[in-house]
């Protein structure tokens, strides 16, 4: 098939029961695949009994988002992969719109739809919103979402455009591009692996896109809730790894010190808000990052050696933390447009 919709599942039987029938109803001309990361809730048994048209892939154990998709996509033959979270509700024409966008933009390796919140369909959802960006310190944000603040959708992002990264919650990617860069970095396990993937694609000359013509509704936190200390750990650790690997002309020990100070402020904020477990996870993330730093620097050198035409279009050359917490900017429209890097 031209496109395969691949849903990675881990103990998400209830999400599959709720949203997979909607995927089948609203998706034409595509294989539907559920890759199971060693679930113990009967997901595969339910799939075989109730959804015979859907192919199941048993991965045996939990390889995380990154490893699970890498192993699953080795077993899927398609020109394009649509990676879809199990807690996403798709809409009519969603996949056609995404495929049409890639058809019209051969320079794009991947693209995402408009991602709205399932619980409040008037607002953007945290994971992806209307396309992702990253600041000079490695903190990600989106059109429609800056840190914890999500915007109401008034049609302000009803467009097609290039973005820095696209969400892994609903990502259409060319299979040749995915395999060209070696897929996801399995050591990230989960969280920010799609940012790392998009950045490595950019280093090979590819671009990343967004189209509002496709719309999905994301519950969010289906496998790991937004308030989970484990999520805090993965986000802080992986953010440091991703930036160290990929910031080809800006990484330095001075940058690392600055980033650790910023994360320290975040840890204090957690503590003052009564979330001591999250403070501990920030410290843990730093310790594990520093232990892994020699290996990450080797990855960085390998990427530099194979780099073709690095492109940082969309990187924000300011601190999004300063803009959000000091200047109190809460919307993407308030950000300094001149600070976004432009195409060469």
pLDDT string in tens for the chain (344-residue length): 699 999 999 999 999 999 999 999 999 999 999 999 999 999 999 999 999 999 999 999 999 999 999 999 999 999 999 999 999 999 999 999 999 999 999 999 999 999 999 999 999 999 999 999 999 888 999 999 999 999 999 999 999 999 999 999 999 999 999 999 999 999 999 889 999 999 999 999 999 999 999 999 999 865 555 678 888 999 999 999 998 998 866 667 777 788 888 888 889 888 888 888 999 999 999 999 999 999 999 999 898 888 877 778 889 999 999 999 999 999 999 999 999 998 76
Residues 137, 15 within the same domain: yes
pLDDT at residue 312, rounded to an integer: 81
Q: Among 288, 304, 291, which residue's Cα sits nearest to residue 238?
A: 288
Residues 85, 131 within the same domain: yes
Name, in order, each residue with C-beta under 8 angstroms of 8's C-beta and a sequence gap of 6 or more.
35, 37, 65, 68, 69, 72, 83, 85, 86
- CB atoms inside a 10 Å sphere around CB 269: 14
Name, in order, each residue with C-beta under 8 angstroms of 74's C-beta and a sequence gap of 6 or more.
none
| Rounded distance between C-alpha atoms, residue 210 and residue 96, angstroms | 14
Q: Among 109, 115, 97, which residue's Cα sits nearest to residue 27?
A: 97
Looking at the domain assignment, is residue 344 inside a domain? Answer: no
Q: Among 23, 21, 19, 17, which residue's Cα sits nearest to residue 5?
A: 23
Residue 49 tokens, joined: 């009994």
Looking at the domain assignment, is residue 266 inside a domain? Answer: yes
Residues 244, 214 within the same domain: no
Q: Which of 190, 218, 246 is the last residue of a domain?
A: 218
Residues 120, 208 within the same domain: yes
Place of tokens 């966008």: 101
> Could you please report the per-residue DSSP string of 91-112?
-TTHHHHHHHHHHH-TTEEEEE
Q: Among 57, 55, 78, 79, which residue's Cα sits nearest to residue 69?
A: 57
Looking at the domain assignment, is residue 72 inside a domain? Answer: yes
Residues 28, 173 within the same domain: yes
At 61 the three-state DSSP class reads coil
Residues 54, 191 within the same domain: yes
Q: Which of 169, 189, 218 is the last residue of a domain?
A: 218
Structural domains counted in the chain: 2
Place of tokens 């000079």: 136
| Rounded distance between C-alpha atoms, residue 322 and residue 196, angstroms | 23
At 33 the three-state DSSP class reads strand
Cα 341 → chain centroid: 21
Tell me which residue range forms the domain holding 160: 3-218
pLDDT at residue 340, rounded to an integer: 96
Q: Among 320, 330, 143, 329, which residue's Cα sits nearest to residue 239?
A: 320
Q: Among 99, 64, 92, 107, which residue's Cα sits nearest to residue 78?
A: 99
Looking at the domain assignment, is residue 189 inside a domain? Answer: yes
| Rounded distance between C-alpha atoms, residue 334 and residue 332, angstroms | 5
Looking at the domain assignment, is residue 143 inside a domain? Answer: yes
Residues 28, 145 within the same domain: yes
pLDDT at residue 112, rounded to an integer: 98
Q: Which of 218, 238, 271 is the last residue of a domain?
A: 218
Residues 7, 133 within the same domain: yes
pLDDT at residue 309, rounded to an integer: 74
Residues 78, 198 within the same domain: yes
- CB atoms inside a 10 Å sphere around CB 201: 24
Place of tokens 């919709």: 5
pLDDT at residue 231, rounded to an integer: 87
Residues 181, 300 within the same domain: no
pLDDT at residue 256, rounded to an integer: 79
What CATH number corresponds to the domain at position 69?
Answer: 3.90.550.10
Q: Give residue 79's region: left, alpha or beta (phi > 0; psi -120 to 50).
A: alpha
Looking at the domain assignment, is residue 224 inside a domain? Answer: no
pLDDT at residue 59, rounded to an integer: 97
Residue 124 tokens, joined: 């953007």
Residues 238, 329 within the same domain: yes
Q: Are strands 132-134 and 3-9 parallel, antiparallel or unpaired?
A: unpaired
Q: Side-chain half-sphere of 188: how many Cα atoms within 13 Å?
A: 25
Q: Are strands 170-174 and 160-163 parallel, antiparallel or unpaired?
A: unpaired
| Rounded distance between C-alpha atoms, residue 20 and residue 18, angstroms | 6
pLDDT at residue 226, rounded to an integer: 60
pTM, two decimal places:
0.93
Looking at the domain assignment, is residue 236 inside a domain? Answer: yes
Residues 184, 291 within the same domain: no
Looking at the domain assignment, is residue 313 inside a domain? Answer: yes
């Amino acid at each position: 098939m031209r496109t395969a919709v691949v849903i990675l599942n881990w103990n998400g039987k209830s999400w599959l029961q709720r949203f997979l029938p909607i995927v089948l109803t609203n998706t034409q001309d595509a294989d539907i695949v559920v890759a199971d990361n060693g679930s113990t809730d009967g997901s595969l048994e339910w799939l075989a009994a109730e959804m015979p048209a859907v192919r199941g892939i048993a991965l045996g154990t939990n390889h995380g988002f990154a490893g699970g998709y890498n192993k699953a996509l080795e077993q899927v033959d398609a020109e394009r992969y649509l990676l879809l979270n199990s807690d996403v509700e798709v809409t009519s024409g969603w996949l056609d719109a995404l495929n049409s966008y890639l058809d019209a933009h051969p320079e794009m390796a991947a693209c995402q739809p408009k991602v709205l919140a399932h619980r409040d369909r008037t607002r953007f959802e945290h994971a992806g919103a209307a396309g992702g960006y990253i600041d000079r310190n490695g903190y990600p944000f989106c059109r429609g979402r800056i840190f914890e603040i999500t915007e109401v959708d008034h049609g302000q992002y009803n467009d097609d455009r290039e973005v820095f990264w696209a969400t892994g919650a609903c990502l259409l990617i060319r299979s040749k591009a995915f395999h060209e860069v070696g897929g996801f970095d399995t050591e990230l396990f989960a969280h920010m692996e799609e940012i790392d993937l998009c950045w490595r694609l950019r280093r090979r000359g590819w671009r990343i896109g967004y189209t509002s013509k496709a719309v999905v509704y994301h519950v969010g936190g289906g496998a790991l809730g937004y308030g989970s200390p484990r999520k805090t750990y993965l986000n802080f650790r992986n953010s440091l790894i991703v930036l160290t690997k990929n910031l080809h002309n800006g990484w330095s020990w001075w940058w690392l010190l600055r980033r650790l100070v910023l994360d320290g402020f975040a840890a204090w904020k957690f503590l003052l808000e009564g979330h001591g477990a999250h403070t501990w996870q920030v410290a843990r993330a730093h310790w594990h990052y520093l232990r892994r730093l020699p290996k990450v620097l080797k990855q960085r050198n390998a990427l530099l050696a194979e780099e073709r035409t690095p492109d940082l279009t969309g990187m924000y050359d300011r601190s999004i933390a300063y803009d959000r917490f000091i200047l109190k900017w809460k919307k993407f429209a308030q950000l300094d447009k001149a600070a976004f890097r432009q195409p060469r």
